[in-house]
Amino acid sequence: MTDATVNVTTCPRCDTENVRILTTSPVPGRWTMYICDTCIYSWRSTEPRSATDPQSYPAEFKIDPAEIPSLPAIPTVPPRRR
Ligand SMILES: [Zn+2]
C-alpha cells in the first residue's frame, strides 16, 4: 500500500507548490486526497505514480500555469440569447 503520510508539496500536473490536503480517509492513515489550488487537479495518495508524481505525470497532460487564463472552456459557453 502507498504510504498515505508522504508529504506532498508539488502538483503533478502544473508543478506549482500550491497544494493542500483536500480530505483524508475515513479510516485514519489509509489515504490522503490532495488538491492543487492553481490548476484544480486533485489526486489520492494511493493512485499510480503517473497520477501523483510530477516526474512521472504524462508530459502531454502537463499544464503551464501561465496558460490557464487563456485555456478554452470545454464545452464552449454559448453566447447569450439577448
Ligand atoms: Zn496544479
| Residue 78 belongs to a domain | no
Cα 13 to ligand 1 centroid, rounded to whole Å: 5
| Residue 14 belongs to a domain | yes
Cα–Cα distance between 63 and 48 in angstroms, integer?
Answer: 19
| Residue 35 belongs to a domain | yes
For residue 44, the enclosing domain spans 1-66
Cα 58 to ligand 1 centroid, rounded to whole Å: 13
The count of domains in the chain is 1
Is residue 6 pLDDT above 60, yes or no? no
Q: Which residue has the higher pLDDT, 73 or 25?
A: 25
| Residue 42 belongs to a domain | yes
Cα 37 to ligand 1 centroid, rounded to whole Å: 7
Cα–Cα distance between 39 and 61 in angstroms, integer?
Answer: 12
Cα 75 to ligand 1 centroid, rounded to whole Å: 21
State the cell numbers at 77.
Answer: 459557453
| Residue 73 belongs to a domain | no
Cα 39 to ligand 1 centroid, rounded to whole Å: 4
- In this prediction the pTM is 0.80
Neighbours of 16 (CB within 10 A): 16
Per-residue confidence band for 1, with pLDDT thresholds at 50, 70 and 90: very low
- What are the strands of the beta sheet with 42-44, ordered from one edge? 19-24, 32-36, 42-44
| Residue 3 belongs to a domain | yes
Cα–Cα distance between 22 and 24 in angstroms, integer?
Answer: 7
Q: Kindly report, residue by residue over 34-71, the tens digit of the pLDDT.
A: 999 999 999 999 999 999 999 999 999 999 999 999 99
